[in-house]
Structure 1
Amino acid sequence: MDFKEITYELDGHTAIITFNRPERMNALTKVLEGELYDAMRAADLDETVRAIILTGNGRAFCAGMDMDELEVLPPDDIGAREWMRPYDMNRRADYQARYSYFPGLSKPVISAINGAAAGLGLIFALYSDFRIASSNAAFVTAFVMRGLVAEHGIAWILPRVVGHANAMDMLLTSRKVKADEAREMNLVHRVVEPKVLMDEARALATLLSQNVSPRSVRVMKRQIWEAPYQTLGAAITQANEEMFLSIQSEDFTEGVAHFQEKRPPQFTGR
């Protein structure tokens, strides 16, 4: 695939997608936004890919919307036809919006946050399944400093990740949250030194790709992201239905066999 503002790399069963505008701290443009969607969709459809890593080139993860584009952004851009995606009946509508589509992907998304994650950069990280941060990473919502609002579902997801008080603090003050504090409030799962950030992300992707059932990961991801909309009874009913299907799967057969035979698993994802 030929991209201008991201890079796309396959490393075994892992797709690595990198924001690639380091001279602008990987600030989002319409080109980058479209390429990111295309790359994520390609990775999700690629049967050889079992995990996706998202990171940034240079000193930032993603510094939010490029100010040059924000300055001339038309008020109706958020609903422009170019951002409307084909509707998938098999996925929740909640996870098919312009920026909330990561949870609707079947593969786990790991954000390796190498520097500043601001505005939309923070939103991309929040919609990821794992967040590993470099010790020099920093997080800021930025919206209130631009006269904007809690955009693209961040008012829904941020309190679920960091709690109500921390979400109010981040959104209403727009103060910078550094990596160690981000770990304390569960905004990120792990903080590591910059030189080992990608090693850690690749190791997690390898674990998800080789040690566990891709089918189980796929189903569990959907269960977890759908749970906020369910009652306990509905979640249990869904789990029972999925259990019935999983016991008939190739991965279940292999899961029992490799344990009994004391050998590494050879899951197919089916």
Structure 2
Amino acid sequence: MPRRCRLSRRDVHPGSPADDLRSRSRGANVSNNTIITEVDEVGIATITLNRPEQRNAINFEMDRAFHDAMWSFDADDDVRAIVVTGAGKAFCSGFDISAGGEAFGRATHEAHDQQLGVDSDSVAERAAFWNMRTPVIAAINGAAVGAGLTLPLLFDIRIAAEDAKLAFIFPRRGILPEANSTWLLPRLVGLSRALELLLTGKTISGTEAARIGLVSRAVPRDQVLDEALELARDIAVNCAPTPVAITKKLVHEGLGETDRLAAMQRETRLTWWIGEQADAVEGVVAFFERRQPKWSGSKHVGIPEDLR
């Protein structure tokens, strides 16, 4: 059975072992329940955004708890994949704008940076989930609007409900798209489609999002989480942790690489290096013996300097 814990910002610390994290959270006097986490027997961590009455709008408490949980799970070698979903009918309605017209004003900005211990530079590093060694999958079970849509753009794979309402709503609220969306969205869906979505803030369905490549697939709402967990399980059970981590690294680095030859050279060096690792032997032997492989590698294995 999965282990469930409700985490407040006091209960999770970046880089701490997840086993210690879970044991502390089970016995902790939790002051908020903005996220729920679970880890199953094969190492799939699930993070559920848990403010359903507010359509999982992101407040400072959720922001801190979510990022802390993400980096803690990435630090845990036993966690092989992370799935993020929302409680209730929505995935995430974006930042909490209950403050009204001052929701994005100077006072909110200062409070955000002070409470989260960030500035405009370090906040980007904190959200750089592409630097994680763990695959991250979004199970977009309902509406994803504004920051609720740019957040899963920072993940590796997205699965959406067919009828989910998705929108980069920013210009309709008088603000700018954020969270690296202006950099990534054109690379996902092409320049013209990206500009149409970003300049109009219009709403599209999960089905349309799958058609244009914004998400990997769209499925009936009640199947979204199961589909994401099945995909995560496939990675966790059937794929060795080291090549999964390095493949993720190479793909994301490649988005910013302008020298195609250099990218292939790096890939080739790493291919031969990983072929010398124990899991490369195990994967081939398990295939010929028609059995499940027993992986022994780590997603955090160090890459030799001369191969980077």
Whether TM-score is above 0.5 comes out as yes
Q: Is the 8 A contact 2:207 2:218 kept in 1?
A: yes
Q: Is the 8 A contact 1:132 1:191 kept in 2?
A: yes
Mapped partners of 1:99, 1:146: distance in 2:
25
CA deviations 1:153-185 (Å, max 9, x no partner) are 111111111111111111111110111111110
Match of residue 126 from structure 1:
153
Per the TM alignment, residue 229 of structure 1 is displaced from its structure 2 partner at its CA by 1.8
Per the TM alignment, residue 31 of structure 1 is displaced from its structure 2 partner at its CA by 0.7
Match of residue 25 from structure 1:
55
Q: Is the 8 A contact 1:84 1:98 kept in 2?
A: no
70, 81, 98: which one pairs with 1:40?
70
Match of residue 182 from structure 1:
209
Q: Is the 8 A contact 1:141 1:171 kept in 2?
A: yes
Match runs of 1:45-194 below 5 Å: 45-69=75-99, 71-75=102-106, 77=109, 80=113, 82-84=116-118, 97=124, 100-194=127-221
Mapped partners of 1:219, 1:189: distance in 2:
21
Match of residue 90 from structure 1:
none
Please list every run of 5 or more consecutive structure 1 residues that lacks an aligned counterpart in the other structure: 86-92
CA deviations 1:193-233 (Å, max 9, x no partner) are 12221111111011000011111110000000000221112
205, 219, 234: which one pairs with 2:232?
205
Q: Is the 8 A contact 1:115 1:138 kept in 2?
A: yes
1:244 aligns with 2:275: no
Mapped partners of 1:38, 1:100: distance in 2:
10
Match of residue 5 from structure 1:
34
Match of residue 265 from structure 1:
293
Mapped partners of 1:202, 1:47: distance in 2:
18
Q: Is the 8 A contact 2:67 2:126 kept in 1?
A: no
For this pair of structures, how many residues does the alignment match? 262
% identical aligned pairs: 35
Question: Does the C-alpha gap of structure 1 residues 173 and 226 become closer, same or farther in structure 2, counting only changes over 3 Å?
Answer: same
Per the TM alignment, residue 98 of structure 1 is displaced from its structure 2 partner at its CA by 5.5
Q: Is the 8 A contact 1:29 1:69 kept in 2?
A: no
Q: Is the 8 A contact 2:34 2:65 kept in 1?
A: yes
Mapped partners of 1:126, 1:143: distance in 2:
15
- Code of the residue aligned with 2:278 in structure 1: it is E
Q: Is the 8 A contact 2:151 2:179 kept in 1?
A: no
With the length of structure 2 as denominator, give the TM-score of the two structures: 0.80
- Code of the residue aligned with 1:42 in structure 2: it is S
Q: Is the 8 A contact 2:167 2:203 kept in 1?
A: yes
Match of residue 89 from structure 1:
none
Per the TM alignment, residue 132 of structure 1 is displaced from its structure 2 partner at its CA by 0.7
CA deviations 1:117-147 (Å, max 9, x no partner) are 1111111111111111112211101110111
CA deviations 1:79-116 (Å, max 9, x no partner) are 8353439xxxxxxx9x9715642111110000000011
- Code of the residue aligned with 1:182 in structure 2: it is A
Find the residue that maps to 2:293 and give its secondary structure.
Answer: coil
Deviating more after overlay: 156-165 vs 14-23:
156-165
Mapped partners of 1:233, 1:249: distance in 2:
25
- Code of the residue aligned with 1:84 in structure 2: it is V
Mapped partners of 1:163, 1:201: distance in 2:
25
Deviating more after overlay: 165-174 vs 235-244:
235-244
CA deviations 1:225-251 (Å, max 9, x no partner) are 000221112211221231232022121
Question: Alignment RMSD, CA only?
Answer: 2.1
